[in-house]
């Protein structure tokens, strides 16, 4: 045991242990340099998130929060509660130690509304900087709104609507159209601040919310568009709604529901004691007192703004900060394709084969004449890059394991129907296109439209041909095109590749031909 301890100690000190700047021995990590961390000192929680490194789709490798409640008395007393300050500094001390253990390269520390508005905020910042051994940036309301918008831009494909970031101390609203950001506003409607100002009365809180939002011009631009909800209280509401409706996917980012349904649920949560709600146990006890206040704000936003849908974003200010630090070329990358390419590098037998599959499928799909939107094309490209990530699993479980990995991965730039499409495409690649639907994760098919289900089967069927031809090795697919020509589905195997032909391969071409209504030919 003593010898093992010495070995681990040497590994840590030399940067060889798992979790330290992607060491050569950590084959499950990308070579992105040392980890990057963000400490977010919010009005309700203090959180540390450590990311694998700087990339277009950064993967969190550590995430911890402490509910300190720094902002619970700022509205009425103007100061940070002493016990909350102690709790926050204790959390920061632990977070600094964790950053040291993980050999974090960059540490960014930000503070928001509570510290910004408190009379003793500057004193707290001095103590926090001493503990963190790093500068603490107190974000202005405008900068907080901008970072929230950047978080949505970084994680949502072509966003169009209003971003609403509800914290403990304030609500930031800002318009986004694709990569364009409007002028943001900061409103004193954070859950803790609202409860404090209203003397813990929901009736009084309702009057405050009405007064603040009724003349907010930004809401007039929301009609018929999407409201992007950020913040722990709104995520808790979404988690509760998912649990009550038996939603088949537990991923928070990208959860979307019609505005009318969100409004009805917000009304329910605002009216009743949270502890009496079904499945309330999915919400942490410390979060429950703020649920009615968050529901109240959401309810009024939806009534006034009249959006088409509510989209839950798990990414916000922290990710917006990191996105802001990227160069323009990196910012312009598709985050879904970037993440799929990284997983291809980490888990596939041949990453090059994954890229060749993209090109091979492009030619196949073009030859079919099938209509394909830009978003469907990018989803198909991602599916190609992810098609072989389950190869290490037992053959009987490769389809299910691949489906679970893809459906629950930390992908961004994709909604839940898109996740289902990717997962099903790779599932069918392993399990076949005509059977085994009973083995799917419960109700995962309900997330995909009929068109997406049909397209997933076609793509999965084409994958089954590709992998039987190439054995997952690079250099084969470019020489073995699969195309629709003169009304037939033709797989060309010229020269030395002709020996790859056989009954099993022909059966797979025939199965694909049935899916697209074409006679199969191998020549």
Q: Where are the beta strands (DSSP E) in 119-278?
A: 136-138, 160-166, 171-177, 180-181, 185-187, 226-230, 256-258
Give the mean model confidence (pLDDT) for residues 46-63. Answer: 95
Sheet holding 136-138, edge to edge: 60-67, 45-51, 36-41, 106-111, 136-138
44 Cβ contact partners less than 8 Å away, ≥ 6 residues apart:
67, 68, 69, 70, 71, 72, 167, 168, 169, 190, 191, 192, 232, 290
Q: Where are the beta strands (DSSP E) in 149-225?
A: 160-166, 171-177, 180-181, 185-187
Pairing of the two strands 136-138 and 106-111: parallel
CB 196 within 8 A of CB 73: yes
Give the mean model confidence (pLDDT) for residues 273-289. Answer: 89
438: pLDDT confidence band, cut at 50, 70 and 90? low
CB 181 within 8 A of CB 173: no
Over residues 212-226, the pLDDT tens digits come to 999 899 999 999 999
Half-sphere exposure of 4 (CA within 13 A, CB side): 1
Q: What is the pLDDT of residue 253?
A: 96
Only one residue has tokens 């630090």, namely 325
Q: What angle do CA 239, 195, 244 make, to 5 degrees?
A: 20
Q: What is the pLDDT of residue 3?
A: 43
Question: Cα–Cα distance between 113 and 119 in angstroms, integer?
Answer: 12
Q: What is the pLDDT of residue 382?
A: 98
Over residues 127-146, the pLDDT tens digits come to 999 999 999 999 999 999 99
Q: What is the pLDDT of residue 274?
A: 87
Query: Measuring CA to CA, how many Å separate 62 from each of 17, 102, 104, 345?
Result: 15, 9, 11, 22
Beta bridge partners of 137: 110
What 8-17 contacts at long range (C-beta under 8 Å, 24+ apart), as own/partner pairs, is 12/101, 15/103
Give the mean model confidence (pLDDT) for residues 429-454. Answer: 78
Q: How much of the chain, in percent, has pLDDT values that exceed 70?
A: 93
Over residues 293-335, the pLDDT tens digits come to 999 999 999 999 999 999 999 999 999 999 999 999 999 999 9
pLDDT higher than threshold 90 for residue 93: yes
441: pLDDT confidence band, cut at 50, 70 and 90? low
14: pLDDT confidence band, cut at 50, 70 and 90? very low
Question: Cα–Cα distance between 452 and 375 in angstroms, integer?
Answer: 12
Residue 235 class from Cβ within 10 Å (0-12 exposed, 13-18 middle, 19+ buried)? buried
pLDDT higher than threshold 70 for residue 440: no
pLDDT higher than threshold 80 for residue 6: no
Using DSSP's 3-state secondary structure scheme, residue 138 falls into strand
Dig out the tokens for 414 from the structure.
């994709």
Q: What is the pLDDT of residue 108?
A: 98
Question: Cα–Cα distance between 184 and 344 in angstroms, integer?
Answer: 38
Q: What is the pLDDT of residue 446?
A: 87
Sheet holding 519-522, edge to edge: 482-485, 488-491, 519-522
Q: If you compute the radius of gyration of the chain from its CA atoms, what whole number of angstroms results?
A: 26
pLDDT higher than threshold 80 for residue 20: no
Q: What is the pLDDT of residue 305?
A: 97
Question: Cα–Cα distance between 182 and 485 in angstroms, integer?
Answer: 49
Q: What is the pLDDT of residue 91?
A: 98
Measured in degrees and rounded to the nearest 5, phi and psi for residue 254 equal 95, 0
Q: What is the pLDDT of residue 433?
A: 81
Question: Cα–Cα distance between 137 and 160 in angstroms, integer?
Answer: 29
Give the mean model confidence (pLDDT) for residues 236-256. Answer: 94
436: pLDDT confidence band, cut at 50, 70 and 90? low
CB 336 within 8 A of CB 374: no
CB 361 within 8 A of CB 462: yes
Helices (H) and strands (E) in the chain, counts: 20, 15
Beta bridge partners of 67: 45
Beta bridge partners of 309: 226, 258
3-state helix, strand and coil shares in percent for the chain, rounded to the nearest 5:
55, 15, 30
Give the mean model confidence (pLDDT) for residues 351-359. Answer: 97
Q: What is the pLDDT of residue 18?
A: 42
Dig out the tokens for 340 from the structure.
């799929």
116 Cβ contact partners less than 8 Å away, ≥ 6 residues apart:
138, 139, 140, 141, 169
Dig out the tokens for 327 from the structure.
């160069």
Mean pLDDT of the residues in the chain: 92
Among 166, 282, 285, 173, smallest CA distance to 233 is for: 166
Give the mean model confidence (pLDDT) for residues 344-354. Answer: 95
Measured in degrees and rounded to the nearest 5, phi and psi for residue 433 equal -100, -10
Dig out the tokens for 461 from the structure.
């069927």
Q: What is the pLDDT of residue 379?
A: 98
**Continuous segment of H or E residues that includes residue 92:** helix 82-101
How many C-beta atoms lie closer than 10 Å to residue 192's C-beta? 28
Q: What is the pLDDT of residue 444?
A: 84
- Rounded-to-10 torsion of CA 45, 51, 57, 59: -90
Q: What is the pLDDT of residue 15?
A: 42
5: pLDDT confidence band, cut at 50, 70 and 90? very low
445: pLDDT confidence band, cut at 50, 70 and 90? confident
Q: Where are the alpha helices (DSSP H) in 348-470?
A: 351-368, 374-386, 398-408, 416-431, 450-470
Over residues 401-425, the pLDDT tens digits come to 999 999 999 999 999 999 999 999 9
């Amino acid at each position: 045991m003593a010898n093992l301890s010495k070995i681990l100690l040497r590994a840590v000190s030399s940067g060889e242990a798992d979790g330290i700047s992607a060491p050569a021995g950590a084959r499950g990590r990308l070579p992105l340099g040392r980890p990057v961390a963000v400490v977010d000192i919010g009005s309700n929680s203090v959180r540390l998130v450590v990311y694998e490194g700087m990339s277009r789709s950064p993967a969190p490798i550590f995430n911890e929060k402490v509910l300190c409640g720094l902002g619970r008395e700022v509205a009425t007393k103007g100061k940070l509660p002493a016990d909350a300050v102690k709790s926050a500094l204790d959390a920061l001390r632990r977070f600094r130690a964790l950053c040291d253990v993980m050999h974090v390269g960059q540490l960014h520390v930000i503070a928001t509304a509570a510290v910004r508005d408190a009379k003793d905020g500057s004193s707290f910042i001095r103590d926090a900087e001493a503990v963190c051994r790093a500068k603490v940036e107190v974000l202005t309301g405008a900068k907080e709104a901008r970072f929230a918008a950047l978080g949505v831009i970084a994680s949502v494909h072509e966003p169009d609507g209003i971003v609403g970031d509800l914290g403990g101390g304030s609500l930031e609203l800002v318009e986004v159209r694709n990569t364009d950001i409007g002028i943001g506003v900061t409103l004193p409607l954070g859950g803790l601040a609202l409860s404090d100002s209203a003397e813990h009365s929901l009736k009084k809180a309702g009057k405050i919310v009405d007064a603040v939002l009724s003349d907010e011009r930004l809401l007039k631009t929301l009609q018929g568009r999407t409201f992007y909800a950020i913040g722990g209280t709104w995520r808790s509401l979404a988690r509760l709604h998912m649990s009550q409706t038996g939603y088949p996917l537990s991923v928070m980012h990208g959860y979307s529901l019609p505005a009318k349904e969100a409004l009805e649920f917000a009304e329910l949560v605002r009216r009743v004691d949270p502890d009496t709600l079904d499945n309330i146990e999915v919400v942490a006890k410390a979060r429950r007192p703020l649920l009615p206040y968050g529901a109240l704000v959401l309810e009024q936003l939806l009534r006034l703004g009249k959006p088409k849908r509510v989209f839950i974003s798990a990414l916000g200010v922290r990710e917006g900060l990191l996105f802001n630090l990227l160069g323009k070329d990196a910012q312009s990358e598709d985050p879904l394709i970037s993440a799929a390419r990284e997983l291809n590098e980490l888990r596939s037998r041949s990453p090059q084969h994954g890229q060749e599959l993209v090109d091979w499928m492009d030619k196949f799909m073009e030859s079919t004449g099938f209509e394909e939107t830009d978003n469907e094309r990018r989803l198909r490209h991602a599916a190609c890059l992810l098609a072989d990530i389950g190869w290490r699993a037992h053959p009987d479980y490769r389809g299910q394991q691949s489906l679970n990995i893809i459906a629950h991965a930390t992908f961004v730039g994709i909604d839940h129907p898109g996740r289902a499409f990717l997962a099903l495409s790779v599932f069918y690649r392993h399990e076949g296109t005509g059977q085994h639907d009973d083995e799917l994760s419960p109700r995962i098919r309900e997330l995909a439209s009929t068109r997406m289900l049909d397209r997933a089967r076609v793509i999965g069927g084409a994958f089954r041909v590709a992998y039987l031809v190439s054995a997952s090795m690079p250099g084969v697919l470019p020489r073995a095109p699969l195309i629709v020509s003169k009304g037939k589905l033709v797989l060309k195997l010229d020269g030395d590749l002709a020996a790859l032909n056989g009954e099993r391969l022909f059966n797979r071409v025939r199965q694909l031909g049935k899916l697209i209504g074409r006679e199969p030919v191998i020549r």
